[in-house]
């Protein structure tokens, strides 16, 4: 099956990109592969190990994006100092307001120069059903008119093939 059919066409962001996202990339940025899948698997499993893990991991959205070549990257959403280009902290769910001079690095920061992607979203723990879910929650790469639940299911399959089981939840 062709990549456009599996994950949707590779297109530029559907909304504006912050200047910081054009020049910075998250410290946590990882390309998903057989060699790196354990990093994400361990992070998700940390939630079940103790109260600290439950509190910390459950509060952090994990961003994911599918690249032009079908590769996948993920990172924790991070806040950076725009002037110094230094990491400040991870950003918890709820999108707290940021002081001047700080920027959150969203989905575009997970990409290289052209800032085009097939699809993007978040991995979150859904307390209502007590499971990890993968969503298309990205204002720039996840809710574009051509994207379908089948595309998100195909992305969930990328993770599943590496032993990471996520329930797809399509947000239209």
User: What is residue 79's predicted lDDT score, i.e. its pLDDT?
Assistant: 83
Computed over every residue of the chain, the mean pLDDT equals: 89
When divided into structural domains, the chain yields a total of 1
User: What is residue 104's predicted lDDT score, i.e. its pLDDT?
Assistant: 86
Q: What is the pLDDT of residues 56-98, one digit of tens each?
A: 666 778 999 999 999 999 999 888 788 888 888 777 676 667 7
CA distance 19 to 82: 9
Q: Domain span at residue 153?
A: 3-15+27-76+110-169
* Helix/strand/coil (H/E/C) assignment for every residue in the chain: CCHHHHHCCCEECCCCCCHHHHHCCCCCCEECCCCCHHHHHHHHHHHHHCHHHHHHHHCCCEEEEECCCCCEEEEECEEEECCCCEEEEECCCCCCCCCCCEEEECHHHHCCCCCEECEEEEEEEECCCCEEEEECCCCCCCCCCCCCHHHHHHHHHHHHCCCCCCEEECCC
Of 26, 135, 19, 30, nearest to 77 by C-alpha is: 26
Does the pLDDT of residue 45 top 90, yes or no? no
Of 45, 85, 43, nearest to 63 by C-alpha is: 43
User: What is residue 33's predicted lDDT score, i.e. its pLDDT?
Assistant: 98
- Is 91 inside a domain boundary? no
Tokens of 20: 């910081």
User: What is residue 95's predicted lDDT score, i.e. its pLDDT?
Assistant: 62
- Is 143 inside a domain boundary? yes
- Is 85 inside a domain boundary? no
User: What is residue 52's predicted lDDT score, i.e. its pLDDT?
Assistant: 65
User: What is residue 44's predicted lDDT score, i.e. its pLDDT?
Assistant: 83
Q: What is the pLDDT of residues 100-151, one digit of tens each?
A: 888 888 999 999 989 999 999 999 988 788 789 999 999 999 999 999 999 9
User: What is residue 25's predicted lDDT score, i.e. its pLDDT?
Assistant: 94
- Is 102 inside a domain boundary? no
- Is 120 inside a domain boundary? yes
Which pTM value belongs to this model?
0.91
Q: Tell me the β-bridge partners of 80.
A: 87, 103
Tokens of 94: 């709820």
- Is 164 inside a domain boundary? yes
Does the pLDDT of residue 46 top 80, yes or no? no
Determine if residue 47 is left, alpha or beta; phi over 0 gives left, psi from -120 to 50 gives alpha, anything else beta: alpha
- Is 22 inside a domain boundary? no
- Is 121 inside a domain boundary? yes
């Amino acid at each position: 099956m062709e990549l456009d059919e599996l994950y949707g066409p590779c297109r530029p962001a559907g909304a504006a990109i912050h200047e910081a996202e054009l020049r910075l990339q998250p410290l946590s940025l990882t390309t998903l592969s057989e060699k790196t899948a354990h990093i994400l698997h361990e992070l998700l499993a940390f939630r079940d190990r103790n109260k600290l893990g439950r509190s910390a991991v459950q509060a952090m959205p994990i961003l994911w994006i599918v690249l032009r070549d079908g590769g996948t990257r993920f990172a924790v959403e991070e806040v950076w100092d725009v002037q110094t280009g230094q990491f400040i902290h991870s950003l918890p769910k709820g999108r707290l307001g940021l002081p001047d001079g700080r920027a959150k690095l969203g989905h575009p920061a997970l990409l290289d120069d052209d800032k085009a992607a097939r699809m993007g979203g978040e991995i979150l723990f859904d307390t209502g059903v007590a499971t990890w879910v993968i969503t298309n929650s990205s204002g720039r790469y996840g809710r574009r008119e051509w994207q379908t639940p089948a595309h998100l299911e195909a992305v969930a399959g990328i993770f599943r093939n590496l032993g990471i089981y996520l329930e797809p939840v399509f947000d239209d």
